[in-house]
Amino acid sequence: MKIWKTIFNVGVIAAVGGVLWTAKKVIDKSSNLESRFRNYYEVLNQWVKNKNQHIEIVEYFKENDIKNIAIYGMGELGNRLYEELRTSDINIAYFIDKNAAEIYSGADDIPVVGLDEISQRDDVDAIIVTPIYDFDKIEEELINQGIDLDIISLEDIIYAL
């Protein structure tokens, strides 16, 4: 009888531990999302401040002699960057997205390429990374693939203006 009581108690402790572990994972994920959205807010807020002062992103590219770019990421920030640059002198040669196989073409029929296709292209001066929360990871991944281009975070551009 005593052994069954011990087994039951161990089972209860294990179940409580599992619930606590799961709760911690949910809280960590929620905290990560909150941090990500806070970062988005801050960058977008600075972008709007720049625009209100008539400071355009295209100025960064002109100052750094960047004429042809690829936009990494077709999410909200990638699309906003495209919208700002599409009528400028900056040529958007292609978009890069991990889900390129599911996206047939970007805006205005600009091609969307996957990570494995970047090394076959040499028509850009820089890759602009719009998933700002993953910039370090993306930069490392591109460098490990042998990409020898300037890899610039949209966040860095916005704050450099």
Residue 20: predicted pLDDT: 46
Question: What pLDDT shows up at residue 115?
Answer: 86
- Report yes or no: 95 and 106 within 8 Å, Cβ to Cβ: yes
Q: What is the Cα–Cα distance from 158 to 51, expressed in whole angstroms?
A: 10
Into how many domains does the chain fold?
2
The pLDDT tens digits of the residues spanning 35-75 come to 888 999 999 999 999 999 999 999 999 999 999 999 999 88
User: pTM here?
Assistant: 0.80
94-113 per-position pLDDT tens digit: 999 888 767 655 677 888 88
pLDDT per position as a tens digit, 130-146:
999 999 999 999 999 89
Residue 44 sits in the same domain as residue 64: no
Cα distances (Å, whole numbers) of residue 148 to 50, 57, 120, 127, 155: 30, 23, 12, 10, 21
pLDDT at 14 over 70: no
Same domain, 143 and 79: yes
Q: Average model confidence (pLDDT) for the chain?
A: 84
- In this predicted structure, the answer to whether residue 129 has a pLDDT above a threshold of 90 is yes
Same domain, 41 and 106: no
Quote the percentage of the chain above a pLDDT of 90.
57
Question: Domain check: are 31 and 84 in the same one?
Answer: no
Residue where a domain stops, chosen among 55, 74, 98: 55
Structure tokens at 101: 């196989």
Q: Are residues 39 and 82 in the same domain?
A: no
> What's the domain range around 100?
56-160
Residues 82 and 34 in one domain: no
User: Does position 26 have pLDDT exceeding 60, yes or no?
Assistant: no
Report how far residue 92's alpha carbon sits from residue 157's, in angstroms, rounded to the nearest whole number. 16
* Same domain for 69 and 85: yes
- How many Cβ atoms are within 10 Å of 116's Cβ, its own excluded? 9
